[in-house]
Amino acid sequence: MNTTLNEVVVHINEAVDEVTFNDLERGIRRDQGVISVGRRHNQDHLMVVVYDSAVARAASILHNFRERGLHAQLIGM
């Protein structure tokens, strides 16, 4: 298997409660090409997503946040 891993930090504009954030995290993990999702509990507006760039692009990951009704930006790649 030839996997090229990349990482992106996503800034979420909305205040998201713990239950919603956990649901979001589980949902993003199921998106195509996503390998890992992480966050710091004291920075709930930031999410780190590790993905296989042979399968997904940072723009598609951002689009998946927006499809879930969130306003978000990529802040690191």
| CATH code for the domain of 28 | 3.30.70.100
Domain extent for 35: 5-76
CB 49 within 8 A of CB 7: yes
pTM of the model: 0.86
Distance CA 32, CA 56 (A): 7
pLDDT, one tens digit per residue, over 28-67 is 999 999 999 998 778 888 999 999 999 999 999 999 889 9
| Residue 77 in this model has a pLDDT that exceeds 70 | no
Identify the pLDDT of residue 10: 94
How many domains is the chain partitioned into structurally? 1
* Of the candidate ranges 6-15, 21-30, 35-44, 62-71, the one whose mean pLDDT is the lowest: 35-44
Can you say whether residue 29 is alpha, beta or left, with left for phi > 0 and alpha for psi between -120 and 50 degrees?
alpha
